Amino acid sequence: MWGCDVLRIENVHASYGKKEVLHGVSFDVKRGEIVSLIGPNGAGKSTLLKVIAGLLPAREGRVWIVKNGKEKDLSRLSSWERIEEGIGYFLQGGKVFPNLRVYENLEVAGTGMDKEKMEKNVEWLCGLFPVIKEKWNDRAGLLSGGERQMLSLAMVLLRRPSLVLLDEPSAGLAPRYVKEMLEKVRELNEQEGITILVVEQNIREILGISRRTVFLQGGRVVDVKNSKDVTLEILEELFFGKK
């Protein structure tokens, strides 16, 4: 199935108030890919994910998904409708309900789901994230940072999305959890076939698992490369303006 566009971003402009952050962003994500989105702070990476997820309206341009061979313009869909279309969004830092137990967090994430389907998906998640089963009755606020990130990702995955947007999934984690989290991202892609667009601060690690890399600078796409072809010189030019 790789080679078929699943997400297409066309000339997207977005603003916070009068401050325009994205200036005509265009690229595509193909089915079965991990695509990394990298750039300096303030480049607009997280803003773009919010636009795709429906949390921030595009001032201009379109975001399209391809589902069952048909294109659909997301512009008229709410964030909830985009979830129903198979888009999952992991917010930076991983969001959980700290006063609720682990299983209660999953129940909230599964609001409105068919009970049998939810139970089946929770069983799948427990296999994918053993910590969920181990900490089932613990309050989420008592989990370690890495465990909270895993729970937050599990909540995103509960509805079995076909496309997942990850905003710095390893942010704030100890090195051992960074490796574990990004290996989990690779596993989701390779074993579950989930297409992933990821913003990640650990550039070396994300280049190792992504197929392509989109370079964002000043709210514009300045290059798209196969991740294996990204060199230190290319990164220095992007982040520091060195050639």
Spatial distance between the Cα atoms of 42 and 32, rounded to a whole number of angstroms: 28
Q: Which two tokens stand for residue 123?
A: 């069983």
Q: What is the pLDDT of residue 4?
A: 52
Please say whether the dihedral angle defined by the alpha carbons of residues 206, 208, 210 and 214, taken in this order, is positive or negative: positive
Q: What is the pLDDT of residue 5?
A: 65
Q: Do 63 and 8 meet the contact criterion of CB atoms below 8 Å apart? A: yes
For the chain, helix, strand, coil in percent to 5 are 40, 30, 30
Please choose, from the candidates 151, 153, 149, 148, the residue with its C-alpha nearest in 3D space to the C-alpha of residue 194: 153
Q: Which two tokens stand for residue 122?
A: 């929770």
Domain count, the chain: 1
Task: Look up the domain containing 68 and give its range.
Answer: 5-240
Please say whether the dihedral angle defined by the alpha carbons of residues 206, 207, 212 and 217, taken in this order, is positive or negative: positive
Residue 128: phi and psi, rounded to 5, are -75, -40
Cut 0.85: pTM above it:
yes
Mean per-residue pLDDT pooled into runs of 10, the chain (243 residues): 70 95 96 94 96 96 87 90 94 91 97 94 95 96 92 96 94 85 93 95 92 96 94 84 61
SS3 state of residue 92: coil
CA 166 to centroid of chain Cα atoms:
2
CATH of the domain at 161: 3.40.50.300
Q: What is the pLDDT of residue 89?
A: 97
